[in-house]
Amino acid sequence: MLRIEAAEIIVVRLPLKFRFETSFGVQTEKVVPLLVLHGGGLQGLSEGTMEFAPMYREETIAGGLHLLKDVFLPRILGKTFANPEDLEAALGGFRGNKMARAMVEMAAWDLWARMLDVPLGTLLGGRKTEVEVGVSLGIQADEAATVDVVRRHVEQGYRRIKLKIKPGWDIQPVRATREAFPDIRLTVDANSAYTLADTGRLRALDEFGLTYIEQPLAWDDLIDHATLQARLTTPLCLDESITTAQDARKGLALGAGGVINVKVARVGGHAEARRVHDISQAFGAPVWCGGMLESGVGRAHNIHLSTLPNFTLPGDTSSASRYWATDVINEPLEAVDGLMPVPTGPGIGVTLNREFVASIAELHEERTA
């Protein structure tokens, strides 16, 4: 049985090692909410992926912390659950706020796997000991800088290069990259920056042999994606539009895309992520694990999820040292030749660097029943 005895809410701020620009804007640091659930002398860890402002989805850090403290944790502290899916049901009456709910659910999965003394990936149904990873590259100053940063990551062995694009910065960097690297697996990510009025510009990307174009249209739209997909030869990959397994079913049935980016927090946790994986597999649509600039806690969760069989495209779980001078965990998460080893040991296989976390914590609250 899974008894939740206590919880810790921790917020840290980590400076990025590089300037990361997308169609949303420029990011130079990451505020990371962490949750620790205690039970049976063990700890389950998770990380929130909501942002300061509602740019990616509608959730924010402030709203997520409020829900954790005042709504979600009071419903589970001091209570016993049969398993993490039982705990997920205890939060099922609340609408939306998937990322905040995922913090509780993911920490519970980690705690449960540690109690059973098995790796989380094994508990979810995965079998891989390493997963293919790619890299997501932000918008650069010019085409030459784009080719240069792509070259560095190709030389490091990453199995897929993803370029962030936006209107006015799309065909040029993609053409320059493809001319310099005719054989690499190349994708682009628009983060909802386009409309159907940009169909001609998006159709022009067909000539570059992209594996997919990720989320070109509105974050809450499937119909226009289906219209656009019918006009392109390049598969569309759905990201922000998919928050449930039913969204995945509807999107694939409509022909709104042929690939799904699974972000475990975006869909509310591991149980729903596994359902998205299963439905996509039934449609013959490959999935891959997206990233949200996670620290080592969220990155470890993503790696374990990626061990499921339909994760057949490289994910965004590149080496942690790309992002942080010092991570919040003790164990290194480093890819070798584009392959990320799955952390061994029970649960997500990593532990908090308590000394470092304490030195940078902007918030640390403990809760008991």
**For residue 340, what pLDDT is reported?**
97
Residue 79 known to be catalytic: no
Residue 41 CA, distance from chain mean position: 29
Residue 183 domain-assigned (yes or no): yes
The vertex-272 CA angle with 248 and 305, nearest 5°, equals: 100
pLDDT recorded at residue 21: 65
pTM value is 0.95
- The C-alpha angle 24, 277, 263, rounded to 5 degrees, equals 25
Q: CB-hemisphere CA count at 13 Å for 333?
A: 34
pLDDT at position 123 is 97
Which of the residues in the chain have pLDDT under 50? none
Is the same domain home to 80 and 212? no
Tell whether 168 and 225 lie within a shared domain.
yes
| Structure confidence at residue 91 (pLDDT) | 84
Same domain, 210 and 242: yes
Indicate whether 196 belongs to any domain: yes
Residues 135 and 44 grouped into a single domain:
no
- CA-to-CA separations, 331 to 27, 295, 320, 345, 352, in angstroms, rounded: 25, 12, 10, 11, 9
CA distances from 120 to 113, 126, 320 (A): 6, 9, 19
Q: Is 179 exposed, middle or buried (0-12, 13-18, 19+ CB in 10 A)?
A: exposed
**Same domain for 19 and 100?**
yes
Q: Give the range of the structural domain holding residue 80, as residue numbers without chain letter.
A: 2-117+353-368
Q: In what order do the strands lie in the sheet with 236-238?
A: 135-137, 161-164, 186-189, 213-214, 236-238, 259-262, 287-289
How many C-beta atoms lie closer than 10 Å to residue 333's C-beta? 24
The answer to whether 151 and 180 are in contact (CB under 8 A) is yes
**151-192 pLDDT tens trace:** 999 999 999 999 999 999 999 999 999 999 999 999 999 999
Q: How many domains does the chain have?
A: 2
Cα(183)–Cα(289) distance, integer angstroms: 23
Q: Is 263 a catalytic residue?
A: yes
Q: Are 234 and 258 in the same domain?
A: yes
Q: Give CA–CA dist 362/188, Å, rounded.
A: 35
What is the CB-side half-sphere exposure of residue 98 using CA atoms within 13 A?
20
Q: Do 79 and 130 fall into the same domain?
A: no
- Are 126 and 264 part of one and the same domain? yes
Q: Please check whether residues 94 and 133 belong to one and the same domain.
A: no
3-class SS of residue 81: strand
Confirm whether 347 is domain-assigned.
no
DSSP 119: B
Residue 34 in domain: yes
**Whether residues 18 and 156 fall in one domain:** no
User: Would you call 3 helix, strand, or coil by DSSP?
Assistant: strand
What pLDDT is attached to residue 233? 98
198 and 55 within one domain: no
CATH of the domain at 248: 3.20.20.120
Residue 348 lies in a domain: no
Same domain for 240 and 315, yes or no, is yes
Catalytic residue among 69, 164, 166, 250: 164
Query: Residue 262: how many CB atoms within 10 A of its CB?
Result: 26
Look up tokens 């499937």; give the residue: 222
| Exposure string for 52-85, b = 16+ CB within 10 A, e = fewer | eeebbbebbbeebbebbeeebbeebbeeebeebb
pLDDT of residue 52: 85
CA distance 119 to 87: 19
pLDDT score, position 64: 93
